[in-house]
C-alpha cells in the first residue's frame, strides 16, 4: 500500500532522503539522471503521481541556479528544436503506450538505449555542427520514449555527448533541455490535480536532502576530469537500459 506523508515512518523518510541526496549529487554533477536514481525507489513507497509531481517541482525550483548558469553557455540552436520536438512527440509516445503492446514497446526502448550506449562506447563522434532537423529528430525520439516510459534522457544525452562540444557545454545543454521540457510536464500535472497537500508536506523534508546533494554534485563537476564526466554519463545510460529491460523485471521490480 502506498504511503502518504502523514503515515511516513522514520525508515521511509530516511530511505527517501538518502535517495534524494544521491539523486541530487548525480544531477548536480552530470546535469541529468536524478529521476533514474530517485523515481524507482519513490514509486515503490509513494503514490506514483505524488512522487512524480513532488520531484518535478523540487527539481525545477532547487536546480534553478544550475539553469541560470547553463543558459549562458548552452547551444540554443540545438536545444530549441529538440525541446519543441520533445513536447510535440511526447503525445505520440502516450498514444503508443495506450494502443500498442507494452512488452514489445519496452524491448524496443531497451534496444534503442543499449544501441546508443554501444555507439558512445565505440568512440564515434559527430564532428559536424548538428542541423536544426537533426536536433528536432533527436528531440522527437526523446519525446516518444518519454511518453512511453519516461525514459527520455538517453537520446539527447547521446546526441550531445557524441558531438565535438566541450563537456561544460554538453552539461549545460542537458540542464537547459530538461528544465524546458519539464515545464510541459508541470502544466500537465497541475491540470490533472497532482499537487495535493501531501505533495507540499513531502517537499518539506525532501528539499534539504536534494539541495545538499545538488550543491555537492555541482562542486564536484568543477574539479572533475572531462573524461570522468563522460563515464558517469555512460553509467547512467547503462542504468537506464538495464532498468528498462523486461527480462529483469523479477530482479529489479
Rounded to whole angstroms, the Cα distance separating 240 from 155 reads 11
Cell reading at 207? 528539499
Of the pLDDT bands very low, low, confident and very high (cuts 50, 70, 90), residue 245 is: confident
pLDDT tens-digit map of 167-179: 889 889 999 998 8
Of the pLDDT bands very low, low, confident and very high (cuts 50, 70, 90), residue 244 is: low
What average pLDDT score do residues 189-201 get? Answer: 81
Quick check: 63 pLDDT over 50?
A: yes
Quick check: 6 pLDDT over 70?
A: no
State residue 144's pLDDT score: 85
Rounded to whole angstroms, the Cα distance separating 42 from 20 reads 9
Backbone angles phi, psi at 100, to 5 degrees: -105, 170
Which position has the higher pLDDT, 141 or 46?
141
| 181-197: b (≥16 Cβ within 10 Å) or e | bbebbeeebeeeebbbe
Quick check: 92 pLDDT over 90?
A: no
What average pLDDT score do residues 75-85 get? Answer: 93
Which of 38-42, 49-53, 225-229 has the least mean pLDDT? 225-229
Residue 145 near residue 106 (C-beta atoms within 8 A):
no
Decide: residue 247, CB within 10 A, 0-12 exposed, 13-18 middle, 19+ buried.
Answer: exposed
What average pLDDT score do residues 17-28 get? Answer: 90
Which position has the higher pLDDT, 3 or 53?
53
State residue 251's pLDDT score: 59
Of the pLDDT bands very low, low, confident and very high (cuts 50, 70, 90), residue 125 is: low
Which of 50-54, 76-80, 121-125 has the least mean pLDDT? 121-125
State residue 225's pLDDT score: 75
What average pLDDT score do residues 78-105 get? Answer: 84
Quick check: 253 pLDDT over 70?
A: no
% of the chain residues with pLDDT over 70: 88
Which position has the higher pLDDT, 56 or 97?
56
State residue 1's pLDDT score: 44
Quick check: 7 pLDDT over 60?
A: no
**Cα within 13 Å of Cα(82), Cβ side:** 29
State residue 113's pLDDT score: 77
Residue 129 near residue 165 (C-beta atoms within 8 A):
no
> Which of helix, strand or coil describes residue 125?
coil
- Per the listing, cell 540552436 goes with 77
Amino acid at each position: 500500500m502506498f504511503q502518504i506523508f502523514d503515515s511516513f515512518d522514520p525508515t521511509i523518510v530516511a530511505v527517501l532522503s538518502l535517495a534524494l541526496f544521491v539523486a541530487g549529487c548525480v544531477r548536480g554533477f552530470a546535469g541529468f539522471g536524478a529521476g533514474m536514481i530517485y523515481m524507482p525507489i519513490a514509486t515503490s513507497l509513494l503514490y506514483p503521481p505524488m512522487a512524480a509531481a513532488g520531484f518535478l517541482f523540487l527539481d525545477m525550483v532547487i536546480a534553478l541556479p544550475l539553469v541560470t548558469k547553463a543558459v549562458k553557455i548552452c547551444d540554443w540552436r540545438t536545444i530549441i528544436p529538440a525541446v519543441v520536438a520533445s513536447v510535440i512527440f511526447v503525445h505520440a509516445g502516450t498514444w503508443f503506450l495506450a494502443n500498442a503492446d507494452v512488452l514489445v514497446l519496452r524491448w524496443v526502448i531497451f534496444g534503442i538505449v543499449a544501441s546508443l550506449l554501444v555507439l558512445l562506447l565505440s568512440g564515434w563522434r559527430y564532428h559536424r555542427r548538428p542541423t536544426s532537423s537533426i536536433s528536432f529528430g533527436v528531440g522527437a525520439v526523446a519525446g516518444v520514449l518519454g511518453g512511453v516510459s519516461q525514459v527520455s534522457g538517453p537520446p539527447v544525452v547521446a546526441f550531445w555527448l557524441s558531438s565535438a562540444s566541450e563537456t561544460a557545454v554538453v552539461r549545460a545543454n542537458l540542464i537547459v533541455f530538461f528544465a524546458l521540457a519539464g515545464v510541459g510536464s508541470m502544466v500537465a500535472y497541475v491540470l490533472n490535480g497532482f499537487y495535493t497537500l501531501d505533495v507540499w508536506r513531502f517537499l518539506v523534508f525532501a528539499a534539504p536532502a536534494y539541495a545538499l546533494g545538488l550543491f555537492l554534485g555541482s562542486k564536484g563537476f568543477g574539479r572533475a576530469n572531462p573524461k570522468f564526466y563522460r563515464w558517469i554519463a555512460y553509467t547512467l545510460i547503462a542504468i537506464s537500459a538495464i532498468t528498462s529491460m523486461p527480462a529483469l523485471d523479477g530482479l529489479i521490480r
